[in-house]
Amino acid sequence: GADQCVGRRVSERELEAQVSLARRVAELESVLRITLAENRKLSATDDLTRVASRRFFGKHFPREVERAARYGRPLSLVLCDIDYFKRHNDTLGHAGGDEILRQFGPRLQKVLRRNIDWVARIGGEEFSVVLPETPYEAALGTARKLRGAIGHEAFTIEGKGVPVTASFGLCGLDRVPTGERRLAERIFKIADAALYRSKHSGRNRLTATMYSGGAGDAQA
């Protein structure tokens, strides 16, 4: 009888230990899930500007292109770069430059459709604007509004009005083609080339290209 009691006590202790271990493992798994979710959120968002991060853009823009190609839908990409940003940094200090960056994203977002279009910071003072379901002409209108949202009203930095402008490059597709390899990369390069032309022809302007294999461009 005594041996059975000891055996039962040992079994109960083992069971309690197993339950306690399982509880701790479940708690650790819960903490890990929360931590991973927070890390994903942090890596998806640019710390300074609170728009999407370069990493998020690199992962999700190709997905947007693939989805549009699958269903034969339009899509456009706008790239923009703050003009004379180094000069702003030199004049206002890095804190002032950072404040311009903080205000830049929200100005862009005010023009865009909520939960459809999205903005990412992809370089020091360079941003991308992804416009799903947006053909060339509509994207051209949106890009003009984006340029106006930046340049028409001075930024308020430490209580003072600071004029800020940006240069824009657009690549628009009325229907995203299927079967083209590395299409997202090609769209980005076309928009980047358009941005380059804007910056080297006076800044504070928009250069737009319609993607059609061999595309013409227009300035606005």
Same domain for 11 and 72, yes or no, is: no
Same domain for 35 and 61, yes or no, is: no
Res. 39: pLDDT tops 60: no
Same domain for 186 and 123, yes or no, is: yes
Which pLDDT score is estimated for 68? 96
User: Which one is catalytic: 125, 133, 158, 185?
Assistant: 125
Which pLDDT score is estimated for 192? 98
* Residue 125 among the catalytic residues: yes
Q: What is the pLDDT of residues 103-150, one digit of tens each?
A: 999 999 999 999 999 999 999 999 999 999 999 999 999 999 999 999
Res. 219: pLDDT tops 90: no
Same domain for 68 and 132, yes or no, is: yes
Residue appearing with tokens 């402008």: 165
Report residue 214's pLDDT band, with 50, 70 and 90 as the boundaries: very low
Over residues 34-48, the mean pLDDT reads 74
Number of domains in the chain: 2
Which range of residues forms the domain containing residue 22? 1-44
Q: What is the pLDDT of residues 165-200, one digit of tens each?
A: 999 999 999 999 998 989 999 999 999 999 999 999
Over residues 44-48, the mean pLDDT reads 93
Which pLDDT score is estimated for 154? 97
Share of residues in the chain with pLDDT > 90 (%): 75
Res. 216: pLDDT tops 50: no
CATH number at 156 reads 3.30.70.270
- Averaged pLDDT of the chain: 89
- Does any domain span residue 84? yes
- Does any domain span residue 70? yes
- Does any domain span residue 49? no
